[in-house]
Amino acid sequence: MDGVVETCNMSRDGVVETCNMSRDGVVETCNMSRDGVVETCNMSRDGVVETCNMSRDGVVETCNMSRDGVVETCNMSRDGVVETCNMSRDGVVETCNMSRDGVVETCNMSRDGVV
């Protein structure tokens, strides 16, 4: 995955989110715009545990993510709101079914340089 750019076009309750993500070794940087708000995520991966310290408009978000085979579970706290993401990865297609404060979010993401 070194040097591979990943682009995710995600709709969330009618709001389009675009993520341009670069991966270099174990450090992943995501510069994401969401409804005009820029979100920066510096993510480290150590084994199957992934820790993301993300700032979003002055709000700190911490994500502790575990990966087990192709199933990824993310329990994320965001300003006191719990977000649960169950993500499956199959080849270059990634499907994320995420609930956030009762709102369902679906992300269809391509990897390996294919949008």
Q: How far apart are CA 18 and CA 82, in angstroms?
A: 22
DSSP E strands: which ranges in 25-113?
27-34, 37-46, 49-56, 59-68, 71-78, 81-90, 93-100, 103-110
Q: What is the pLDDT of residues 50-96, one digit of tens each?
A: 555 555 555 555 555 555 554 455 555 555 555 555 555 555 555 55
Q: What is the CATH number of the domain that holds 81?
A: 2.40.128.20
Examine residue 63 and state whether it is found in any structural domain, yes or no.
yes
Residue 99 pLDDT? 56
pLDDT over threshold 50, residue 114: no
Instruction: Check if the beta carbon of residue 24 is closer than 8 Å to that of residue 3.
Output: yes
Instruction: Check if the beta carbon of residue 61 is closer than 8 Å to that of residue 77.
Output: yes
Per the prediction, the chain carries an average pLDDT of: 53
Examine residue 115 and state whether it is found in any structural domain, yes or no.
no
The tokens 């709000």 sit on which residue? 59
Residue 107 pLDDT? 55
Examine residue 95 and state whether it is found in any structural domain, yes or no.
yes
Top pLDDT among 103 and 69 is at 103
Give the residue-averaged pLDDT of 10-30: 52
State which residues form the domain around 29: 4-110
Residue 19 pLDDT? 53
Q: How far apart are CA 39 and CA 104, in angstroms?
A: 20
- Structural domains counted in the chain: 1
**Tokens at residue 75, please?**
């329990």
